[in-house]
Amino acid sequence: MTGTQAKRGAWNSKLGFVLAASGSAIGLGNIVFFTSNAYQYGGGAFYLPYFVALFTLGIPVMILELGLGTLTGRSFPNALRQVGGRRAEMLGWWAIAAQFIITAYYVVIIAWAVSMMVGSLGSLFRPGVSAPFDPFREPATRPSAVTYFFHLVSTGWPLVALAAVWAINLFALRGGARTIEAMVRVFVPLMWVFMIGLIIRGLTLEGGLDGVLYLFTPAPEGIANAAVWRGAFAQMFFSLSLGLGVMTTYASYLPKKADQVANAFTISFLNCGFEYIAGVAIFALLFVFSLNPAGTTLSLSFFVVPQGIAAFPWGVRFFGFLFFLLVTAAGLTSSVSLIEGMVSAIIDKFGLSRGRALLVVSIPCALVSCLFVLPQIVDPGLAGNGTLGLTLLDLVDHWVFSYALITVGFVETLILGWVLGADKLRAAVNEHSRIPLGRWYEPFIRWGAPALLGVILVWSLAGEFTGETLYGGSTTPAGLKWLTVFIPLACLAGTVLVATILTRAAGKADEAPAGRGGAGGAAATLGAVALLVSGALLAPARAHAQDAPVIPARARVGEAVNLTLPGAASLTVTYRPNSSIARSVTLPVGSDGVVVWTPEQAGVVALAVDGGSSRNVSVRFAGIPWLGVLVLAAAGTILFGGAGYGLKRLFEGDDHAFPLDT
């Protein structure tokens, strides 16, 4: 290790790095976005393409980003500069500019989770909250997370939570790698334990297992849908924190001899393993309580899950608190990595002290993040996003997150494949890798990865211009429609401008001062184990009846359900509502007011009488879906077996800890 390396900061141990990198990857995306994507794309249709994406795109690009970090020992823009000069550096700064925008609203989502967490102890789960927003979906006698949330975001409380979130981030970042390591040693194990507690609760409720099998049973007609593949590949890229150079920055704090193949496998499997159990926990709840995540991406975690928890026979506040604590912890370990990526880039280029660099990055970013908590109600009917902050967040998220990561990935694979040379990259990685990368890796980085990313990019972009308006055109309230054009243009112009300025600026590299040390600790894990045990001890319990008596809450494929709907003319059944592959069947009601419905397909199905508002029914499988059981078992074995194997290879050596040169 060189003296400079010591000055930039370095991980204390292999475990610290793996925790930090997996903590970066495991974030809101694993809980919020994965489950809502999986649901939208039809459950079982999603998982196989997603799994294919892990091996064909995720792991190879992860190896590339990690390899770039140890090869150069620099954060993203500076690493790219070493490889491809100024033009490559510009891509790096463009990624940092996008990261700035993403951080500004990522922390806001964490702040909402914090607010909901506090709310679970307060009035979130108090029944009797009236529901002015959608009286049908949530009868006034039950607590309504939707009502609670929209009320919450129209107050000043999220701003208070946001200040707390920034404070925690800065605290964790004060000493660079060393203090980040201290934080992840506590947060990352906690995240796992909490999620497992939630799984146990979900699976011990009747019908939960069918929900899980719904996620894992391949649905052929969905898999044949090309949009599902695009969604799965994009989700994988996002989930693994690729395409912003964060993994490069984190890897730059490793010694040169780090085994990046084992690291990439371990981090990716841990991330997707977490996503797997998040899927199990949340799909179980969806089925148990026949919930239907309508609307935006956030709705599954912020409305549907609390709605399910509210119907638990007991432990409502406890599990509500636990869930939002989990989301908060997962979000914080990712936001820390986002901010560190920017701070490290500034330190590497301009030689500022860590404290200064932190301020230079976080003061403007915190100010921008305040935009996304603006509580002004712009849409009282909630046809769109409710408040001004939510509207802005929705638009910015759509453009920056969907395009920045994939664009950077596309150009970065081209730069490493052709400018540095895929052969050089492979040789550099193989020098220290116990599992050598095969020859396939070179053509893959040159051709395969850019082709995959290019197709996703062009195809997504083409989709933007097929409608009459740009994204958000129908949900953004009148008077603010100009934002749908302004936001993408402003984001593009702003990031390109910042990237140009920072690339041109004269650097003063390699004079970064030393970081400060921090204490580690994992005592909190004990408390979490207690939580887990209490989760395990919960007796199986029945869900509260959710529906009016005429429509049962559950049905089974192939078993006829007799419904008496006096005076009604028709019953419309929508399989997989709110997905790109939804299918509706309308059944006429007989003159005696009776209609017989025989469910054709498992899933949460919406029933609407005379085309009015709908009610949900969970349709269970006819028998045991063996294919689903097989995918569930195989995916679990591969992910956790792979993570275990990766960890084993990683720790086989003698050097678990790498003390700093002093």
Q: Would you tell me which residues interact with ligand TRP (CB under 6 A)?
A: 24-25, 27-30, 238-239, 241, 244, 246, 334, 337-338
Q: Is 5 exposed, middle or buried (0-12, 13-18, 19+ CB in 10 A)?
A: middle
CB of 539 to ligand TRP, least distance (A): 34
Measured from the CB atom, is 148 or 276 closer to ligand TRP?
Answer: 276
CB of 477 to ligand TRP, least distance (A): 28
CB of 58 to ligand TRP, least distance (A): 11
Is the backbone of residue 555 left (phi > 0), alpha (psi -120 to 50) or beta? beta
Supply 94's token pair: 């463009």
Contacts of 625 (CB under 8 A, 6+ apart): 213, 217, 602
Measured from the CB atom, is 334 or 433 closer to ligand TRP?
Answer: 334
Supply 398's token pair: 């759509």
CB of 320 to ligand TRP, least distance (A): 21
SS3 state at 487: helix
Measured from the CB atom, is 54 or 605 closer to ligand TRP?
Answer: 54
SS3 state at 562: strand
> What's the CA gap between 304 and 201, in Å, rounded?
16
Contacts of 481 (CB under 8 A, 6+ apart): 469, 473
CB of 491 to ligand TRP, least distance (A): 16
> What's the CA gap between 182 and 201, in Å, rounded?
30
CB of 424 to ligand TRP, least distance (A): 25
CB of 30 to ligand TRP, least distance (A): 5
Measured from the CB atom, is 267 or 366 closer to ligand TRP?
Answer: 267
8 A C-beta contact, residue 319 and residue 285: no
Q: End-to-end CA distance of the chain, in Å?
A: 11
363-370: Cβ within 8 A, 24+ apart: 364/100, 365/100, 365/103, 365/104, 365/339, 366/162, 366/166, 368/100, 368/101, 368/104, 369/103, 369/104, 369/105, 369/107, 369/108, 369/162, 369/166, 370/159, 370/162
Measured from the CB atom, is 184 or 595 closer to ligand TRP?
Answer: 184
CB of 57 to ligand TRP, least distance (A): 14
Measured from the CB atom, is 183 or 604 closer to ligand TRP?
Answer: 183
Beta strands in 223-305 (DSSP E): none
Measured from the CB atom, is 143 or 273 closer to ligand TRP?
Answer: 273
Measured from the CB atom, is 33 or 350 closer to ligand TRP?
Answer: 33
Measured from the CB atom, is 30 or 72 closer to ligand TRP?
Answer: 30
- Per-residue burial over 160-195, b if 16 or more Cβ lie within 10 Å, else e, is ebbeebbebbbebbbbbbbbbbbbbbbbbbbbbbbb
Cα angle: 596, vertex 602, 605; to 5 degrees: 65
CB of 403 to ligand TRP, least distance (A): 13
